[in-house]
Structure 1
Amino acid sequence: MNARADDDALSWSGDDDPTLDVGSEESPALPPGYTAVGRGSGGTTDPSEVPPPSSSPDPDREVSAGGTGNAALVAVGVLGGVYLLYAIGWLLGGLRLQERITPDAMLVVSTALAVAAPAIWFGVVLLLTRTAPRWARFAWLLAGALILVPWPFLTIGPV
């Protein structure tokens, strides 16, 4: 290694930034309720300033640090696949209905909306339940899975 840091091949602009020093004595103070973790974070908080953890955390809320668990992600993926199959079922059922009756503009528009409905429901539920408890997200997704069943596909069939 060279004596001067500017001569190093892998030096970057901003390497001398004082906020990047993990072991510096002048570490920034954290807001109340936060705890520093990791190497060199031992002197950043005063244990007397940290409030005690709550005795009854809400298990239905997603923790921002932890995020959604593996089981919840798999369940959302499975329900997303169900909604995709529903969209395909509505498309096949709607096309089958257009063969049996005289197609008009209303039938084409209603078929297009029926095909798009599962994707719209899935997206809106994920968007509107970002901060809601997990059970609320799954309740709305299961309700949509019951409401949006492709009845023309089930009653007439694909062929």
Structure 2
Amino acid sequence: MSTPRDDDALSWGGDDDPTLDVGDKRESASPGEPEPLIREPRPEPLVASSPERPATVVPDDGGAAEPVASASSEEVPDAAPAAPLGNIGLVGIGVVAATYLFFALGWLVSGRQLQSLGIPIPDVTVVAMTIGATLAPLVWFVAVLVLTRSWRTWQRFLLLILGLVLLVPWPFLSMGSLA
């Protein structure tokens, strides 16, 4: 049996302030009756529109129709947001990100090695190509993550793996690490 003092321990001063209420109150038939676990969704009001007239909402109770502002193309969301990644997805993204970082480092090292070989290409060109090749894996990784937010996880990983295949630092692998 609880005492009023025990109930005070479970409340915070000002809990009954009506300005702190957020959202809809749950409807219940009586205070002693438990809430059902599965709630029936409420039907959406019918929206009637035609090219000549703006859209109107017809209430369920048969009352007067209310006009509704028409939705423009800016107000309509593109797609539902993708579900958040699970633990395996986050670890996979981390492994792929580390691989892209190592690829960028491999392109940087191989570009520096190409400068020391004395090939007949101007140094400015070799530096520009080295910078571009170093940034390519990083740009690919960020572009895939940003541009494919609403895609499925397996599609995003497919593009990331495609980038890993395309951006392998072959000069680094063929010349050795510090040849």
What SS does the corresponding residue of 1:77 show, helix, strand or coil? Answer: helix
d(CA) in 1 for partners of 2:22 and 2:168?
58
Separation in 2, partners of 1:50, 1:81: 48
RMSD: 3.3
Unaligned regions of 5+ residues in structure 2, if any? 1-11, 28-34, 44-80
Instruction: Report matched runs for 1:110-121 at 5 Å.
Output: 110-121=129-140
The structure with the greater share of residues assigned to helix is 1
Q: Could you tell me how far apart the structure 2 residues matched to 1:154 and 1:119 are?
A: 19
Q: CA deviation at 1:17?
A: 4.8
Which structure's relative contact order is higher, taking Cα pairs within 8 Å and 6+ residues apart?
1
| TM-score (norm. length: structure 2) | 0.58
More strand by share: 2
What do the CA deviations read for 1:138-158 (whole angstroms, capped 9, x no partner)? 000000000000011011123
- Identity among equivalent positions (%) equals 38
Greater C-alpha radius of gyration: 2
Q: Where do 5+ consecutive residues of structure 1 fail to align?
A: 1-9, 30-41, 52-60
State the alpha-carbon separation in 2 of the partners of residues 107 and 21 from structure 1. 61
Equivalences for 1:17-96 in 2 at 5 Å?
17-20=18-21, 27=25, 42=35, 47-49=39-41, 62-63=82-83, 67-96=84-113
Aligned to 2:40, the other structure's residue is in SS state coil
| Alpha carbons 2:100, 2:141 under 8 Å: kept | yes
Provide the TM-score with structure 1 as the length reference: 0.64
Secondary structure at 1:158's aligned position in 2? coil
